[in-house]
A and B are shown apart, each in its own frame.
Chain A
C-alpha cells in the first residue's frame, strides 16, 4: 500500500526525483521485483512444461489501420489449459498487442506495457510515437531473455495506427519481435505462435494491399481457422460454447474490440463456408 513505501508515509525520494518518464525504468529502481525477468529461476530447470502456453495471433494492415486477431486456446503439454483466454489487448488508445508463448509472463508483459504507455502519456502530456512504443516493447522482451532460455519464452506482436507516419509510410503498421528483443517491421500481415505457419500461408494467398477492415476481419478469422485446422495448440471457433476469436482494430478512431454479435456472425460465415469447402 501507499504508506508501505516508506515507514513515515511520505513519498520516498526516488518518487520525487525528476528521473525518466519510463515506468519500467522507475520500477527497476523502486521495485525491481515487480519486473518480469528480474526474478532468479532455479538453474538447470526447464519451466516450459509446467506453465500454460498461448498460441496463434495474426495481424493485418488494412486501408484504415490494422486488424489483430487471436484464438482463445492455451495449452499445457497435451492438455487444454484454457478455452477462452484473451491474448489480444489494446496497448493504448491507438495500438494493439497480442502474445504467444508462456501465458503468465505474456499477460504480465501486457499489463506492464499498458502502464508504461499510459505513464509516459500522463507524465509528458503527450503520446509516444508508434516506433517509440515498439522500441519500448522490444526492450521489455529483451529483459525476459534469461527466463526465455529456461523455457518461459514470450513473444509479442504489436500493431497500431501511426498518428504521425513518416512520408510514404502507411498509417497501419505491424511490428514483430524475437525472444532476444529483435524488432522487425512487417509489411502487410504477420502471425506469431505455433499455428503461425499455417495462418501466414493462408494470408499469403488471400491478402491484398489496401484491403478493407471488414474484409481483413474475415481474412483473420479464416487464417485462424486454418491454423486450428493443422495445429493442435490453436483453437478453432467453438460453436457449442460460443467462444470465438478476439478481434480488435486500430484506426484513426482509436482501438475497438469487435462485439460478440459481430464476431459470432463472421465466425459462423467462415464455418458455413468450410462446410462446403474445407480448404477455404
Chain B
C-alpha cells in the first residue's frame, strides 16, 4: 500500500488522465478570416460545442460535455452580470479567459479529478489583427494564440495544416474549406484524410461587420453550399438553424439607459 506520492507524480498522473480524456473526443479549430472569426467543431450530435457568450465573444470546447457545459454557463452568467452592472462594452474576452484559467487551475490542483476539457474564448475585433483567441487547458494554463488554433487530441497535427495555409485575409469559403480539411487530416484509417460534410461539422462565426450580437450559426443548406466552395450571398448567411433565431438588426445592442444619450 502506497502512503506517499510526490507532488510531481500526482500532477503528472492528473495531466495524463486529463489528456487521455480530451484525446478521446473529436477536435475543434478556431481561426480568424477577413469577415470575422470562424469556429468549427467536428460534432455529429446536437449537443453543442460552440456557443455564444456575449456580443463579440464566443466559446468553443472539446472534451467532456458535462464539464465544459458548466463552464460555458458560468461564462454566460459572468458576461451578463458584468454587462448589466457596467455596460455591454465592458465585457471582454480577457476577463473571461482569466476567470477560466483561475477556475480550471484551482480544479486541477485541488480536486481529485481534473476537468477533461480544453476551451477557447474568441473575441472578434474590428480587423483580423484585433481578434483575440485564448486557449485554456485542463490545468488552467492559458495561451494567447493569434490567428488560429486547434484543440483536442490531435491538435498538433491539425495546427500544422493550419499553420501552412492560414491567411487572415481569406474569405469565409476559403477559411471554412481549410478548417474542414484540417479537421479531416487526422483520424482517417491508416493515416488517410477524411472529407467532412455538413452533417459532421458544427460551424459558427463571429461576424466582424455586425453591430450588437455578432454570433451566428451556419448549418444545413448554407453550410452545405459553403463546403461545396460555392459563394453564398451575404444576406443568406443570416439563415441559421431553428434555434436560436437570428437576432434582428435592431436587437438591443446597448442598454436601455445608454440609448438615451444618442
Contacts and interface: CB of A to CB of B under 8 A. Distances in A.
A2 B78 contact: yes
A91 B95 CA distance: 27
Interface stretch (B81-89, B117-125, B158-166, B174-182): B81-89
Place the interface of chain B in its size category.
35 or more
A199 B166 CA distance: 61
Interface stretch (B12-20, B45-53, B189-197, B220-228): B45-53
Given A9-B98, A15-B74, A30-B81, A107 B249 contact: no
**Looking at chain A's contact residues, is the secondary structure mostly helix, strand, loop, or mixed?**
mixed
Interface stretch (B1-9, B24-32, B127-135, B250-258): B250-258
Nearest to B97: A2
Contacts of B51: 122, 125
B111 interface: no
Nearest to A84: B260
B247 A1 contact: no
A115 B257 CA distance: 13
Contact of A92 (B76, B84, B252): B252
Interface stretch (A173-181, A204-212, A251-259): A251-259
Contacts, number: 130
Interface in B58-75: 70-71, 73-74
Interface string A1-38: 11101001111000111110001001100110010000
Contact of B245 (A11, A93, A123): A93
A163 interface: yes
Given A10-B103, A27-B81, A111-B84, A122 B256 contact: no
B99 interface: yes
Nearest to A254: B248
Place the interface of chain A in its size category.
35 or more
B73 A90 contact: no
B18 to A, nearest CB: 17
B232 interface: no
A83 to B, nearest CB: 11
A1 B256 contact: no
Given A34-B84, A93-B248, A3 B98 contact: yes
A3 B245 contact: no
Interface string A80-103: 000011100111111000000000
B250 A257 contact: yes
A162 interface: no
B34 interface: no
A85 B95 CA distance: 33
A114 interface: yes
A247 interface: no
Contacts of B105: 10
A123 B248 contact: no
Given A34-B85, A127-B244, 6 more contacts: A19-B73, A34-B81, A92-B247, A119-B76, A254-B247, A257-B250
Interface of B: 48, 51-53, 70-71, 73-74, 76-78, 80-85, 95-96, 98-100, 102-103, 105-106, 213, 243-252, 255-257, 259-260
10 contacts: A2-B82, A15-B74, A23-B80, A89-B252, A89-B259, A93-B246, A121-B244, A123-B76, A127-B243, A255-B251
Interface of A: 1-3, 5, 8-11, 15-19, 23, 26-27, 30-31, 34, 84-86, 89-94, 107, 110-112, 114-115, 118-119, 121-123, 125-127, 163, 248, 253-257
8 A-B pairs with least C-beta separation: A254-B248, A126-B243, A10-B102, A15-B74, A9-B102, A110-B256, A2-B95, A10-B103
